[in-house]
Amino acid sequence: MSTPGEAEPAGAKAVNLPADASVRRILIIRWSALGDVALASAAMQDVREAFPGAEIHLNTLPPWDNLFTSDPRFKKIMAFELRGAAAGIGGMLRWLSEVRRERYDLVIDMQSNDRSRILLGLLWLSGGAPRYRIANQRRFPYNIAPPAGARPVHALDYMRSALAAAGIPGRAQTPVLHPSYENRRRMAAWRKSNGVEEGRYAVFLPGCQAAGYLKRWGALRYIALAKALRGRGLEKILLLGAGDDEAECREIQQACGEWVINCCGLTEPLDIIPLCEHARLVVGNDTGTAHVAAAAGRPMAVICGPTDPRRVKPAGPRVEALQAAIYCAGCYRKHCSHHSCMLLVTPEQVLARLEALGALD
């Protein structure tokens, strides 16, 4: 292991950092996007448990800092733009100044892209790098990384392979996020005023960002699933989403009637967790919102098509992913002439998967 201010060639062996009492100030870097940040919160919990007495800071991008406004794990949240106009020299200098000032003992780069590596490299060259620098890349400026070999498929396992190289065990089974008292109070009042009773409703996440429209299962299939679930004892279905999802949610609600409640655009990200915690089940597309909802720990079915569920499935023992058995599934294309990978997943298949999860008992 290198000493402070020294670089170490890629390929450093595993160590046991939790046993090092000198690690008192830790920086975690995870910039974007919503789903990736929510998923990384499980690995963040692993770090918190491994260093119970350390002061931990988080560096993310706005607006994802809103996921951590009431999070007791972090002493400080550093959130400022490093994209667009802020991606130039000015933004880089601000980042270097902020990080250098804190004099960290350990930095964990869960972003691990070219920009984060360049910034940490510049920090090392200026003499301000922490003694320990963890990432998945066995290259400068990191000095703790997993051994060379097969890369874990799932995004969370990939992040955890870097933590394992530092002796940090991976234990959190779901994303760990902390809605505020106000989030919980407001959602409880909303459920009461709308007659949404605990355990007697489902949550649908039928949208995704407009650029990823191929990841949408489609309003017609959500309508068919909603009607089938109503015959299984569920009294209400809540539709959650953001601005890009308004048309999809409106079509579902209009086709089903008042027992389907369109909440699109009415919730903050951390409102999703208390709403899902009291639901019997959750069904969604492969979207960042699904990773937030997974923190509730409820039975969840996620429909995947152009993305690989082995990589993107939300974390949790009660989460199941469905994907059609078609040759081009998981192609990651942005445009497609037939969309078969999603259209071939039927409402009946989703119902069967929910039954296997015990969500329809």
Note whether residue 329 is domain-resident: yes
Question: CB of 122 within 8 A of CB of 98?
Answer: no
Indicate if 83 and 228 belong to the same structural domain.
Answer: no
- The CATH number assigned to the domain holding 230 equals 3.40.50.2000
Indicate if 266 and 145 belong to the same structural domain.
Answer: no
Note whether residue 8 is domain-resident: no
**Residue 130: its pLDDT value, please?**
97
Note whether residue 153 is domain-resident: yes
Residue 201: count other Cβ atoms within 10 Å of its Cβ: 24
Indicate if 108 and 193 belong to the same structural domain.
Answer: no
Q: Which residues contact 96 (CB under 8 A, 6 or more apart)?
A: 119, 122, 123, 126, 128
**Residue 14: its pLDDT value, please?**
60
Question: CB of 281 within 8 A of CB of 24?
Answer: no
Out of 111, 132, 165, a domain closes at 165
- pTM value? 0.93
Indicate if 48 and 151 belong to the same structural domain.
Answer: yes
Q: Which residues contact 262 (CB under 8 A, 6 or more apart)?
A: 239, 249, 250, 252, 253
Q: Which residues contact 66 (CB under 8 A, 6 or more apart)?
A: 268, 269, 270
Residue-range definition of the domain harbouring residue 85: 17-165
Residue 358 DSSP label: T
Residue 270 DSSP label: G
Coil, strand or helix: which one is 224?
Answer: helix
Coil, strand or helix: which one is 81?
Answer: coil
Indicate if 271 and 154 belong to the same structural domain.
Answer: no
Encode the chain (361 residues) as per-residue pLDDT tens digits: 444 334 444 444 569 999 999 999 999 999 999 999 999 999 999 999 999 999 999 999 999 999 999 999 999 999 988 887 777 788 899 999 999 999 999 999 999 999 999 999 999 999 999 999 999 999 999 999 998 887 889 999 999 999 999 999 999 999 999 999 999 999 999 999 999 999 999 999 999 987 888 999 999 999 999 999 998 989 999 999 998 899 999 999 999 999 999 999 999 999 999 999 999 999 999 999 999 999 999 999 999 999 999 999 999 999 999 999 998 989 999 899 888 999 999 999 999 999 999 999 7
Residue 247: count other Cβ atoms within 10 Å of its Cβ: 11
Out of 165, 195, 220, a domain closes at 165
Counting the structural domains of the chain, the total is: 2
Residue 187: count other Cβ atoms within 10 Å of its Cβ: 23
Q: Which two tokens stand for residue 104?
A: 């960290």
Indicate if 192 and 300 belong to the same structural domain.
Answer: yes
Using the structure block, give the residue that is written with the tokens 């990736």. 36
Q: Which two tokens stand for residue 49?
A: 């448990």
**Residue 51: its pLDDT value, please?**
98
